[in-house]
Structure 1
Amino acid sequence: MSDNEEGPRERLKAAVWYIVGEICESQKADLNVVITPQLIASLTELVYTQAESLGRDLEMFAK
């Protein structure tokens, strides 16, 4: 794999970052809050970690 290619995890995390950012931007006017890149990064980590945990739980439950 070359330096320019990203692995599936990095691409998935980038997609989660994008969606989290879109959701934050769509809700900021209604909630009257300021959206910072740090907030988006924190929420992205939270969502990604929870998705990984859910995936592991589902795999264990399926066995």
Structure 2
Amino acid sequence: MNADSNDPRASVWLAVAKLCSEDETSSGVSYSPTFVEALSHVVYAQAETMGGDLECFAKHARRTKISVDDVKLCARRNGALHKQLEDIAESTSAKPNK
């Protein structure tokens, strides 16, 4: 994969490759280039699906902007992730805008 292009797929591949490399260093597990490529495709496809869902949730609520509530709605079936998103939303909404 050509990571130098402006293609979002290349950016996803670069991020996944970096995370795998960091995990290799800390855990000692080795990831093949084929695995990194496959995982990149899965992450990209999931992001596309989630993006479409977020747009639909906002449109259903008659909004033109995607909100934090839309993101939390995407995570509703994953209790741990939903809780993390709620905690992050709560902590960021408590901070004053600069």
With the length of structure 2 as denominator, give the TM-score of the two structures.
0.52
Count of matched residue positions in the alignment of Structure 1 and Structure 2: 55
CA distance in 1, matches of 2:34, 2:46: 18
Which of 8, 15, 22 is matched with 1:12 structurally?
A: 8
Identity fraction in percent = 36
Question: Could you say which structure has the higher helix fraction?
Answer: 1
Name which one, 1 or 2, has greater alpha-carbon Rg.
2
Query: 4+ residue stretches of structure 1 with deviation over 6 A?
Result: none
Between the two structures, name the one with larger relative contact order (CA 8 Å, sep ≥ 6): 1
Aligned residue for 2:31, secondary structure, equals coil
AA partner of residue 34 (structure 2): Q
After superposition, residues 1-63 of structure 1 pair within 5 angstroms as: 11-63=7-59
Cα displacement string for residues 9-32 of structure 1 (whole angstroms, at most 9, x for unaligned residues):
xx1000000010000001113222
Aligned residue for 1:22, secondary structure, equals helix
AA partner of residue 27 (structure 1): D
AA partner of residue 55 (structure 1): G
Shift of the alpha carbon at 1:42?
A: 1.1
AA partner of residue 33 (structure 2): P
With the length of structure 1 as denominator, give the TM-score of the two structures.
0.78
Q: CA RMSD in A?
A: 1.5
Unmatched runs of 5 consecutive residues or more in structure 2: 60-98
